[in-house]
């Protein structure tokens, strides 16, 4: 597995941290990400590889609760829990942010000039969401999801598409037992229907790492004519 620390985004003068999984705090410090100046933390769903460091990031962000600020945005499951799914954000840390926004599909919020909308997913967390983030450009984060009919409708007119491309085209029997995750064929359908300016693949499982995510990215680029990059740990994209 590659690092699971999430994604730091600067857009229209705002600083957002998306899905702070294990290592988010440590990797942020090593890469000089200004945690103290974040405007919002976004959680797509409750699973540990996407939200494990949410509490520690809030702690660092608020300087241990001394400086309450910013907005926590997340799925119902991540912030409040859902049915038998336990929430991941502790009540103690909820008190360390200025505003908490729990989002379901099609809910939206403005962070200054940035408009954020929750998008539909199909995942083992039934309340999992993706995001569209609209500023001077539009970023779509699919979140953890398999491809399903209509997924692309939530991400129309996106300039940059970020896909958790877990599996390659050639899936193993073990891969096929893991449902509700995207493979390269699903990503191909999305690209062809959305036609973004650029696509970033990330969040790779062992099978695609053995084959080489770059190989899958090249194939997608050849098939679509759209620029596709397989992200490396700590890679910076200017778009």
Ordered by start, the domain boundaries in the chain are 1-105, 137-239
Q: What's the distance, Cα to Cα, between the start and end of the chain in Å? A: 26
Contacting residues for 68 by C-beta, under 8 A, at least 6 apart: 62, 95, 96, 97, 98
pLDDT digits (tens, 9 = 90+) for 63-100: 999 999 999 999 999 999 999 999 999 999 999 999 99
Distance CA 107, CA 104 (A): 6
Q: In terms of CATH, what superfamily is 137-239?
A: Ribonuclease Z/Hydroxyacylglutathione hydrolase-like (3.60.15.10)
What are the pLDDT digits (tens) for 120-176?
Answer: 999 999 999 999 999 999 999 999 999 999 999 999 999 999 999 999 998 877 778
Does position 4 have pLDDT exceeding 90, yes or no? no
Average of per-residue pLDDT across 27-35: 94
Q: pTM for the full model?
A: 0.95
Nearest CA to 144 out of 50, 62, 24 is that of 50
Question: Given this structure, which CATH class describes domain 1-105?
Answer: alpha beta
Same fold, 1-105 and 137-239: yes
**pLDDT tens column, 191-217:** 999 999 999 999 999 999 999 999 999
The pLDDT, as a whole number, for residue 171 is 80
Contact 78, 100 (CB under 8 A): no
Cβ 19 vs Cβ 105: under 8 Å: no
**Residue 4 and residue 168: Cα distance in Å, rounded?**
19
pLDDT tier at 227, thresholds 50, 70, 90 = very high
Q: Give the separation between CA 40 and CA 223, rounded to whole angstroms.
A: 36
The β-bridge partners of 15 are 10
């Amino acid at each position: 597995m590659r690092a699971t620390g999430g994604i730091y985004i600067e857009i229209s003068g705002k600083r957002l941290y998306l899905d702070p999984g294990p290592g988010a705090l440590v990797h942020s410090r090593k890469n000089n990400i200004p945690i103290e100046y974040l405007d919002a933390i976004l959680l797509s769903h409750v699973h540990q590889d996407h939200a494990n460091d949410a509490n520690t990031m809030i702690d660092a962000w608020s300087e241990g609760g001394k400086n309450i600020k910013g907005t926590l945005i997340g799925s119902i499951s991540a912030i409040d829990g859902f049915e038998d799914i336990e929430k991941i954000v502790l009540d103690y840390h909820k008190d360390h942010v200025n505003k908490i926004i729990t989002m379901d599909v099609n809910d939206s919020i403005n962070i200054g000039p940035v408009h954020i909308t929750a998008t539909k997913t199909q995942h083992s967390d039934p309340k999992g969401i993706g995001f569209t983030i609209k500023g001077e450009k539009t970023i779509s984060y699919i979140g953890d999801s398999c491809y399903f009919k209509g997924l692309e409708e939530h991400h129309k007119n996106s300039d940059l598409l970020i896909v958790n491309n877990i599996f390659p085209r050639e899936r193993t029997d073990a891969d096929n037992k893991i449902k509700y995750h995207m493979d390269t064929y699903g990503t191909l359908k999305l690209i062809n229907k959305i036609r973004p300016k650029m696509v970033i693949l990330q969040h790779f499982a062992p099978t695609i790492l053995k084959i080489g995510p770059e190989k899958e990215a090249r194939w997608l680029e050849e098939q679509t004519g759209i620029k596709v990059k397989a992200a490396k740990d700590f890679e910076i994209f200017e778009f």
